[in-house]
Structure 1
Amino acid sequence: MRTILRTMLQGFGARRIVEAEDGAAGLEALDRANPDILILDWVMPILDGPDMVRMIRTPDNPFAYIPIIMVTAHTERSRIVEARKLGVHELLCKPISAKALHQRIMSVILQPRDFVKTAGYFGPAPRAIRNHKKAWKAPVTTNGD
C-alpha cells in the first residue's frame, strides 16, 4: 500500500514523502519530518492507525492540528463514525484510486477546518458543524490556538 500511495503522490508532484513501516516508526518520523499531511492505514503493526491518531490528537501534541487522511478497507458505518470521533479529516477506502486520493488531499488543503475542543473530543470540526457554526455550542478554536 505504501508503494501505491508513494507512486500516486509522486505523480501529483509531491517532492518529499516520508514512509514508516509501522505506527510506532510513524510517530518517530513525525518529529524528524514535520509533514504537512499525514496519511495512515487503519491496520498497521505495533501501533495501529486509530491508536496513532489518539496519541496525535491531544492539544499539547505539537502535531495535534495536522490534517490526517485514514486509509481503510473496511467501510462499514461504525468505522466511519469511529474515524470521525478520532479526529480524522478524511477517510479513503481501499482499493484507492489516484482521483480519490487527490480529492482527499485537496479537501484538507483547500477547505481547512477549525478545530474544536470539548470534554470528549479534540479535532477538526465536523463538516456539518463547519457550515453551521452557530449551532455548535462548544468553544471553537482556530489552528494554533
Structure 2
Amino acid sequence: MGQSSYLANVKFLIADDNAFMRTIIRRILATLGAQDIREAGDGAEALKIIQTWPADIILLDWEMTPFDGIEFTTMMRHTHDAINTFVPIIMISAHSEYWRISKARDAGVTEFLVKPISAHTLFSRIRNVIERPRPFVNAPGFFGPDRRRHEAKHTQERREHEPEQISPDRVMEQDEINAFFNHADTAQLPHYPPPKTE
C-alpha cells in the first residue's frame, strides 16, 4: 500500500494558534496523501468543528488560548455529548520536559510529538495510532488510552534503579517519548519507506 492511498480517507483536524505551524502540518499531511484536512486557530474553534465534523485524528498544540491542549484533551475525553471521546489525539509541542509528557499522557493524549516535526516523525506517530490502537480505560480520575502496561514497567524500572528518580524538568528525546507512550515492538510494523518531501 502506498502512502498516498494510506491516508487518503483519514480526516485530520489541526488545532494550533500559530497559522504558520498549521500550514507546515497541512503541507506535510498533503505530502503524505491526506485529502480531508481542517484547521482551527484555538481549542474553542476546534471543539466547534468536532461537534459537526468527525475527525479521525486530531493534531493539537499544547499552548493555545482560551484553553490549552491539555484542557482541550480533557474536554474531549470527558464530554458526554456527540463528540467522539475515543478520537486519537497527537499533541505537538516545542517543549519536552518529563512533567509535560507525563501530564499529556495522563490527560488522555495518544501520542506526543516534539517540534520541529518532519514528515517522517509525523507519519510514524500517525501510523502508530492507526495500526496499534490502545484500548481505552475508564477509571476514577482517568479516561483515555491504556497506560497501565507502562506503569507496571516504569515501577519495575524504578525498583531496579533506586534511588534514582526522573527529574520533572528533564528534557526527553523523541525516542524516549515514543517508548513512554507505546510499549509494543514497532519494528514488527510493515515497512514503508520514509516520506519524500520536496
Runs of 4+ residues over 4 Å off in structure 1: none
- Secondary structure of the residue aligned to 2:59 is strand
Residue aligning to 2:113? 92
Kindly report which structure 2 residues correspond to 1:37-52, keeping only aligned pairs within 5 A, or say none: 37-52=57-72
* SS of equivalent residue, structure 1 residue 66: coil
| 1:79 and 2:100 matched | yes
- For 2:121 and 2:76, how far apart are their aligned partners in 1? 24
The one-letter code matched in structure 2 to 1:11 is T
SS in 2 for 1:60: coil
Shift in Å, 1:63: 1.4
Distance 1:110 1:4, change over 3 A: same
Report 1:30-69 matches (<5 A).
Answer: 30-58=50-78, 60-61=80-81, 62-69=83-90
Instruction: Give 1:55 shift.
Output: 0.4
Give the distance between the partners of 1:17 and 1:127, measured in 2 at CA.
Answer: 32
Structure 2 CA distance for aligned equivalents of residues 111 and 27 of structure 1: 26
Q: Which runs of 5+ in 1 are unaligned?
A: 132-145
Give the 5 Å matches for 1:3-14.
Answer: 3-14=23-34
- Pick the aligned partner of 1:106 from 97, 105, 127: 127
Inter-partner Cα distance in structure 2 for 1:59 and 1:125: 18
CA contact (8 A) 1:59 1:122 kept: no
Distance 2:90 2:130 in 1: 12
Structure 2 gap ranges (5+): 1-20, 151-182, 185-198
Using the alignment, how far apart are the partners of 1:19 and 1:118 within structure 2?
32
Shift of 1:92: 0.5
Task: Specify which of 19, 36, 39 is matched with residue 16 of structure 1.
Answer: 36
Say if 1:20 and 1:26, in contact at 8 Å, map to a contact too. yes
Q: Report the 3-state secondary structure (helix = DSSP H, G, I; strand = E; otherwise coil) of the residue aligned with 1:81.
A: helix
**TM-score, length-scaled by structure 1:** 0.85
Amino acid at match of 1:100: T
How far apart in 1 are the matches of 2:105 and 2:68? 16
Distance 1:29 1:60 in 2: 16
Please give the alpha-carbon distance, in whole angstroms, between the structure 2 residues aligned to 1:37 and 1:127.
Answer: 23
TM-score (norm 2): 0.63
State the one-letter code of the partner of 1:81. Answer: S
